[in-house]
Chain A
Amino acid sequence: MPDVISQNMPFLLQGLVTTLRIAALTAIGGTLLGLAVGVAVQLRLPFVAGLLRVYIEFVRGTPLLVMLFICYFALPALMGLHVTAEQATVLGFVLFIAAYIAEDVRSGLRSIGSGLVRAALATGLTRLQSLRLIIVPLALRRIIPALFNQYVRLLKFTSVASVIGVQEFTGSAMLVNARVFAPVSILIFVALTYLVLCLLLSSVGRVLHAYLAA
């Protein structure tokens, strides 16, 4: 390992921890929000479903960086709030990825035949119970590959947070580079780290999918 890397390791690791924290928080938040939105839209909840469709379409047409700017500059200005760059990042990523996850959830729900729903109802479960105990868990299992795709995207997205000044992994690495100027070794190190993390995350998804396959 080149000296520039090993000498700056503690600083880089700190950035990596921030990256992982943001990725984990946004994966959890995005999944919960995406699940709620996906179910609400698929069940065609009156009034809400229409609004949520607009939200999904808006986000899916917006670049992530612009979403981040909106959450960091525009929303706080609009509401007279102050948010830190990391808070804005988490909010922006959650709002962003949830729109994509909602669409995945919907396709998972669509994959479940009406016969299974009838069978659940026929055993005396209420609609809500059928949804909570059978339909949603089954849909989630079926979309595990898609979900982990989104998580890998999130992990890669975290680098974009450096643009609004969050000192995550990429941001820290570029700071180190600004001080010591060793772009080749630093970028190779950064790229390989993301590569390994992303590959690890996708293989977790594959193992989980194989284990829970149904």
Chain B
Amino acid sequence: MSKPIIVLEDVSKSYGAVPVLRGCSTAVSRGEVVVVCGPSGSGKSTLLQCINGLEPYQSGSILVEGVEVGAKKTDLPRLRTRIGMVFQHFELYPHMTALENVVLAQVHALRRSRKEAEARGRRLLDRVGLASKADTRPGKLSGGQQQRIAIARALALDPQAMLLDEPTSALDPEMITEVLDVLIELADEGMTMMVVTHEMGFARRVADRVIFMDQGEIIEDSPTKTFFSAPVSQRAKLFLSKILSH
């Protein structure tokens, strides 16, 4: 693996007296796919949101391409264009068409020309299989389609890495595959990704490493094979047995 894009060192965060992240350290290298799993409330989403500065953290350091996320002088908008983010509930702009959703940040954050942004937007919609929905509003689309557009919106910025926060957990079962297929393709092309998910089949298939979190701590950070065949911690074993039993 080449040099890491994302480096976390001893990151801690709390809401008042309630700790949500406790001394988290890890690194994600270029081209690596890391799956983050763990019981709900374990801090997975918070960890992801800290990486692009959507959530502040109180101590430790997070470097994205060598830039400290939490530093006051960091140009967060610029940093965020380098990192694509996909949310559990899609969060598409409901008053804009699919294409406008994909175009907006290209024009206003990256200062691309509208023409260029639209061409690129159409290519990406085509890539996620939704070229025909370019002029449709999100409200008229299924959850799976919306999430694929959200992925296209993130990819449109040519990000160096993608953060995906439970991208399939708000979807009906029959739509999960269409989204996972897009993600598998992305992984195969070498996109750097951090994915919070409970889809263990997906993790086995594409992840290089699995991070297991519980109560704000990174309990395990192992290569995928090791994690599934011989998890070190008791808590991870318990979690796996629960999640794989059905």
Contacts and interface: CB of A to CB of B under 8 A. Distances in A.
Interface of A: 113, 115-116, 118-126, 129, 133-134, 137-138, 141, 212-214
Given A115-B87, A214-B94, A129 B109 contact: yes
A134 to B, nearest CB: 5
A122 B95 contact: no
Contacts of B95: 137-138, 141, 212, 214
Nearest to B76: A121
A125 B89 contact: no
Contact of A138 (B77, B83, B94): B94
Interface in B88-139: 89, 91-95, 104-105, 108-110, 137, 139
Contacts of A214: 94-95, 137, 139
- Interface pairs A-B: 8 shortest CB-CB: A124-B81, A119-B91, A123-B105, A124-B109, A214-B95, A122-B85, A214-B94, A124-B80
Given A121-B76, A124-B81, 4 more contacts: A122-B87, A124-B105, A125-B77, A141-B95
Interface hub of A119, A125, A137, A141 (most chain B Cβ within 10 A) = A119
B57 to A, nearest CB: 16
A118 B157 CA distance: 16
B104 A133 contact: yes
B243 interface: no
B153 interface: yes
Contacts of A124: 77-81, 105, 109-110, 157
Nearest to B94: A214
A126 B89 contact: no
Nearest to B83: A122
Contact of A123 (B49, B139, B154): B154
A129 B77 CA distance: 10
Nearest to A122: B85
A212 B96 CA distance: 10
Contact of B54 (A116, A118, A138): A118
B168 interface: no
Contacts of A118: 49, 54, 87, 91
B157 A115 contact: no
A134 B108 CA distance: 12
Contacts of B109: 123-126, 129
B52 interface: yes
Nearest to A135: B93
Given A119-B85, A123-B109, A125-B108, A134 B93 contact: yes
B104 A123 contact: yes
Interface string B7-34: 0000000000000000000000000000
A165 to B, nearest CB: 44
B108 A129 contact: yes
Interface in B141-166: 150, 153-154, 157
A118 B93 CA distance: 11
A133 B108 contact: yes
A124 B104 CA distance: 10
5 contacts: A115-B87, A121-B54, A125-B77, A125-B105, A214-B95
A123 B81 CA distance: 6
Interface in B50-67: 52, 54
A189 B54 CA distance: 60
B172 to A, nearest CB: 19
* Most chain B C-beta atoms within 10 Å of own C-beta, residue among A116, A122, A125, A138: A122
A37 B60 CA distance: 40
A113 B88 CA distance: 13
Given A119-B85, A122-B80, A124-B157, A138 B93 contact: yes
A30 to B, nearest CB: 23
A129 B115 CA distance: 20
Given A134-B93, A137-B95, A141-B95, A121 B87 contact: no
Nearest to A141: B95
Contacts of A115: 87, 89, 91
